[in-house]
Structures are given as structure tokens and as C-alpha cells.
Structure 1
Amino acid sequence: MEQSYFKRIISNLEEIIAAGFIIVTTILVIINVFLRYFMDTGLYWSEEVATGCFVWAVFIGAVAGYKRGKHIGVDILVNLLNAKIQKVVVIIVDIILVLLNGYMTYLAVIFISLSYIKPTPVLGVSSAYISSALLVSFGLVTMYSVIFLIRDIKRKDYTKGGEII
């Protein structure tokens, strides 16, 4: 039972991390609103931390959506093709996604190296902590793109409607 629990945690890790960042963001915003309106004070750092957590939640959430196939896709034209051509088109799209996401990962490394010296306005910590969300998310999406490419190359049967048997 423990192993299945561990597997569930690992398979849902992106969702768990994104949810954690959303929870922290929500709690900080609620506390700060309460302090400002009822106590005439506030936590000077909470907006910056909440914004950073929100950025991480969005990018990690995007990874979770991609991993689960929940992003919007237009497959109406692909569905009109026969199964062999569908497979070729799917593999071409997978290759394009691997290349595009790999390039975005490379650009994220450059962006982080540039943002490393820039401190955040309130806390004065490196902006690279927030910018790292780009590297992590595009790195993970690239990894999943490679996994999907390998899966689609090995896949034998395709049917109409995008459903795979």
C-alpha cells in the first residue's frame, strides 16, 4: 500500500507542488488584506512572495496540464486523415514540440543568468529564484515531450477522434 501511495505522490507531483504554491499565495493575500483593512498595517514582503508563488504555480501547473494532455489542441484536421498519416503527423508535432521546448529551456537558462544579478524590490533576493520557474517548467515539458515522442513512435494503432486504442 505504501508503494502505491508513493507512486500516486510521484505521478501527481506537479499538481501537488502547484497546489502548494497556490495555497501559500492565497493565505498571504488573505492575511495581508485582513491586516491592511482591519489593523491599518500589512506585511511589506507578502505581495512579493505571493507574486513569486503565483508565477511558480502557473508554470508548474502548465507542466501538469501538458503531462495530462489537458491543454487545448486542434486535431480536427488530423482526425480526417487515415491512421498511418495520423501517426506521421503526430510524430512530426512531437518532434517540433521537443525542439521548441528544448529551445525555450535554453532561453530560460540565458534569462536566469541575466536575472541572477537583479534583486527583487522588497526582499532584495535574486530574481533568479522566480525566473527559475521558467527553466524548471520548460525543462519538464521538454522531458515529457521526449517521452510522448517515444511513446508515439512505439504506438501501433490510431483511431479517429484522437482516441488511441
Structure 2
Amino acid sequence: MHQAVKKVLSNFELIIASAAIIVTTALVMLNVFTRYFLRTGIYWTEEVATACFVWSVFIGAAAAYKHRAHVGVDMLGNLCPPKTKKAITIIVDFVLLLINGYITYIAVIYISLSYKKPTPVLGISTAYISSSILVSFALTTIYSVYFLIKDIRQPATGGTT
């Protein structure tokens, strides 16, 4: 049981993003079916599918960042000696920490402004959808701190994974 819990916790972003994309796909398929075969649509599916898609994108991006799976250009760093490569890695980690932290701060402001704005169909607060931005960048900021500390502690000859 301990291993299962550990696996779920270490991949919770992927699980949330996957669940959201499954719901998105299911709702879109359901609505297509009802429109073409039953000649009626389910009015709320587009809004919920869009919200789930937004969550899947932002939480999926945080998962990719956590696993360092985002596309990066490190050709210049790979040509440098180990100490220079380490310095470049630490600088990049620090810059990403600042950017992600700032976007987290901006997300808080954005959500506070969008809290009173309802969605067009269901009338729920758009903050429920927009909060995916805050969750994603808060996680990314936490991972940025982790990567910075890890890369500072790592020996210059060991690489930067």
C-alpha cells in the first residue's frame, strides 16, 4: 500500500491532467452523439469540457516541468566545461524561479478579479477555472526551488539531471 500511495503522490499532476482530459473527451463525444443521433445537445457540456481542458493543460504543464520534460535548448551549455555548465544551470534555475514566482503572484491577482465573473452557461465563478493557473504555477515555483537547491548541491562534474 505504501508504494501505491507514493506512486500516486509522485504523479498526482499527471493523474489530475489525465482525468481532466478524459472528462473533456467523454463530454465532447457525448455531445457529438446527442447532437447527431438524438438531434439535441447537452447545453452545459461545452463549458465543462473547456474547463477540464484548461485544467489538463495547466496541470499537465506543471507535471512536464516537474519531470523536466519541457523542450529546452541546452546545446551551448553542453559545449561548456562542467563548472560553466553548472553556473549556467543555476542561473537558468534562478531565472525560472523568479518568472514562475511572479506568474504565481499575478495568478492570485487574476483570480481575485475573476472571482465575481460567472461562466455564461452554468453561472459558476470563473475563478474555479482560472485557479488552474495558480495551482500550476505554484507547483512550478515549488519545483523551481527544488531544482535550484538540487543543482547548487550537485557537483559540477556530475551533470544536471
TM-score of the pair, normalised by structure 2 = 0.97
Partner of 2:121: 122
User: What SS does the aligned partner of 1:73 have?
Assistant: coil
Q: Aligned-pair distance for 1:157?
A: 3.7
Equivalent runs, 1:147-162 vs 2, <5 Å = 147-158=146-157
Shift in CA distance, 70/59, structure 1 to aligned 2, threshold 3 Å: same
Q: Does structure 2 conserve the Cα–Cα contact (< 8 Å) formed by 1:97 and 1:145?
A: yes
Q: Does structure 1 conserve the Cα–Cα contact (< 8 Å) formed by 2:20 and 2:52?
A: yes
User: What SS does the aligned partner of 1:121 have?
Assistant: coil
User: What SS does the aligned partner of 2:116 have?
Assistant: coil
Cα deviation per residue 1:72-102 (whole Å; 9 max; x = unaligned)? 0000001111111111111011110110000
Residue 55 (structure 2) pairs with residue 56 (structure 1): yes
Partner of 1:109: 108
Amino acid at match of 2:111: I
Superposed CA RMSD: 1.1
Amino acid at match of 2:91: I
Q: Does structure 2 conserve the Cα–Cα contact (< 8 Å) formed by 1:14 and 1:64?
A: yes
Amino acid at match of 1:112: I
Partner of 1:68: 67
Where has structure 1 moved over 6 Å in runs of 4 or more? none
Structure 2: gaps spanning 5 or more residues: none
Q: Does structure 2 conserve the Cα–Cα contact (< 8 Å) formed by 1:158 and 1:164?
A: no
- Mapped partners of 1:158, 1:145: distance in 2: 21
Partner of 1:38: 37
User: What SS does the aligned partner of 2:118 have?
Assistant: coil
Structure 1: gaps spanning 5 or more residues: none
Partner of 1:16: 15
Q: Does structure 1 conserve the Cα–Cα contact (< 8 Å) formed by 2:23 and 2:49?
A: yes
Amino acid at match of 1:137: S
Cα deviation per residue 1:15-70 (whole Å; 9 max; x = unaligned)? 01100001110111111100000001111000000000000000000011111111
- Mapped partners of 2:12, 2:157: distance in 1: 29
User: What SS does the aligned partner of 1:144 have?
Assistant: helix
